[in-house]
């Protein structure tokens, strides 16, 4: 009988302590401001760390179309279109440089092999889009200041590059 009472007391106190913790968090969640009161996308974006690895930045004017970045990519999400340059020019003219961000895992393995340093990881995370097509970014079709600068890859930019 004694052990029965001990078990009942133990069970009751354990439940009461658990409920107290739950109640504490319940009250805290009312006191805490919601995330949207601190940040309002896109006017007040979430601040990012200095070494944040975001969408790529790419300089079409220096790319030589060597394919080294595409070969280094572990998930094959870089698609390069190129044509032979008209003689007397040598090499290739890059006509398309697409990165599929539905597959990219931001590992940056494409950056190091580039012999002319024309691709690097940027600090932008803005690629809001209404469909998956918008996640395939053709950097060769973007204005240079968007493709290689820190400007947003916003839906407006998406629309202009698809058009
Ligand atoms: S960051 Fe990684 S996954 Fe993304 S394109 Fe570069 S190599 Fe491929
Ligand atoms: S490695 Fe550099 S130069 Fe070669 S295709 Fe990729 S971005 Fe262009």
Instruction: Report CA(73)–ligand 1 centroid distance (Å).
Output: 5
- Domain positions in the chain are 2-32, 56-162
pLDDT of residue 91: 85
The pTM of this model reads 0.74
Question: What is the average pLDDT across 27-50?
Answer: 80
pLDDT tens sequence across 60-85: 999 999 999 999 999 999 999 999 98
Q: Determine which residue's CA is closest to atom 3 belonging to ligand 1.
A: 104
**pLDDT tens-place string over residues 99-149:** 999 999 999 999 999 999 999 999 888 887 888 888 899 999 888 888 887
The pLDDT, as a whole number, for residue 99 is: 95
| Any ligand 2 atom below 6 A from CB of 67 | yes
Among residues 154, 54, 34, the alpha carbon closest in space to that of 111 is found at: 54
Distances (CA, A) of 143 to 22, 59, 118, 158: 53, 10, 15, 11
- For ligand 1, atom 5, the nearest C-alpha belongs to 104
Residue identifier of the C-alpha nearest atom 8 of ligand 2: 63
Phi, psi of 58 (to 5 degrees): -140, 135
Pocket test for ligand 1, best of 71, 73, 120 (most atoms within 8 A of CB): 73
The CA-atom distances, in angstroms, between 29 and each of 13, 15, 22, 23, 35 are: 24, 21, 11, 10, 12
Separation between Cα atoms, residue 38 and residue 118, nearest integer Å: 36
CATH 3.30.70.3270 fits 56-162, yes or no: yes
Mutate to test the pocket of ligand 1, among 54, 105, 136 (most ligand atoms within 8 A of CB): 105
Question: What is the 10 CA–ligand 2 centroid distance (Å)?
Answer: 67
Sign of the dihedral defined by the CA atoms of residues 5, 7, 11, 16, in that order: positive
Q: What's the pLDDT score for residue 155?
A: 54
User: What does each C-alpha distance from 56 to 126, 151, 160 come to in angstroms?
Assistant: 12, 11, 18
**What is the residue-averaged pLDDT of the chain?**
87
Backbone angles phi, psi at 146, to 5 degrees: -85, -45
pLDDT at 11 over 70: yes
Query: Average of pLDDT values for 21-37?
Result: 86
pLDDT at site 157? 55
């Amino acid at each position: 009988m004694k052990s029965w009472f001990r078990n009942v007391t133990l069970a009751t106190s354990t439940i009461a302590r658990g409920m107290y913790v739950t109640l504490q968090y319940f009250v805290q969640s009312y006191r805490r401001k919601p995330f949207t009161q601190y940040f309002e996308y896109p006017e007040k974006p979430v601040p990012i760390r200095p070494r944040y690895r975001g969408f790529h930045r790419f300089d079409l004017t220096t790319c030589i179309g060597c394919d080294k970045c595409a070969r280094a990519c572990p998930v094959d999400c870089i698609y390069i279109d190129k044509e032979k340059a008209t003689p007397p020019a040598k090499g290739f003219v890059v006509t398309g440089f697409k990165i599929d961000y539905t597959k990219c895992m931001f590992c940056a393995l494409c950056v190091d092999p580039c012999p002319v340093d024309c691709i690097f990881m940027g600090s932008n995370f803005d690629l809001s889009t209404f469909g998956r097509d918008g996640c395939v970014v053709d950097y060769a079709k973007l204005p240079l200041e968007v493709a290689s600068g820190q400007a947003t890859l916003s839906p407006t930019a998406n629309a202009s590059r698809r058009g």
